[in-house]
Amino acid sequence: MNRKRAHSPEPHVRRRIFAGIVMVLAIFASAAPGAADSVGLIDTHFALTRLDGHPVTDADYRGKWLLVYFGYTACPDVCPATLSEMSAALDALGPRAGRFQPIFVTLDPARDSAKVMTQYLKAFGNRFIGLRGHPQEIADTAQRFHAYYRLRGLGSGQYTVDHSSYIYVIDPQGKFVELLTADVPGHSLADSLRKLAG
């Protein structure tokens, strides 16, 4: 699989993404002093639809470590780079990779049809589960995870999606345990996952 890293986003896009990251970090900082309190801010519940049309919730994935990433298929750089590194990390884990389930949640359900997402995720191997839903379902899920995103018009009816870029790690019991930055190489991500899962 070709895992070329994509080019860095344009400065104005980086500023908007940074603003979203600052917002997420502010949410964590506003919690009570203990780390456990910060962890409690993330609600890992979701009720979305798989690409085969089957409705699922977070409870359907109990027993697996979940790696949840919010993005969209027309993302020019951050999303493909992150998914590539996630795939590389799982490759590096070898047999341990079976303990993890990577999930890609679209923030752009209007354009990300099941067919579009299926084709897109093929580029990153066969491990990813794609999830989509109605715009309000996506908004509700993003709010529970405190994932920032905003549709931004480009003119002529076109738009892009500014969004934060984090990998949410959820343990086999469905509890949020870690927020990993998405700009790390696969081998470093693999090391983080080994430490978390033991």
**What CATH number does residue 105 fall under?**
3.40.30.10
78-93 vs 186-197: helix crossing angle, rounded to 10: 60
Does 62 reside within a domain? yes
The better pLDDT of the pair 153, 8 is held by 153
Band (pLDDT 50/70/90 cuts) for residue 40 is low
Does 158 reside within a domain? yes
Does 126 reside within a domain? yes
pLDDT for residue 159 is more than 70 = yes
Does 112 reside within a domain? yes
Band (pLDDT 50/70/90 cuts) for residue 26 is very low
pTM > 0.85: no
pLDDT for residue 61 is more than 80 = yes
How many domains are contained in the chain?
1
Does 4 reside within a domain? no
pLDDT, residue 156, reads 86
- The size of the chain, in residues, is 198
Does 5 reside within a domain? no
Single-letter code of the amino acid located at 110: A
Does 134 reside within a domain? yes
Q: What φ, ψ does residue 95 adopt, rounded to 5°?
A: -60, -25
- H/E element, 13: helix 11-29
pLDDT for residue 13 is more than 60 = no
Domain that holds residue 89: 11-197
pLDDT for residue 150 is more than 50 = yes
pLDDT, residue 162, reads 95
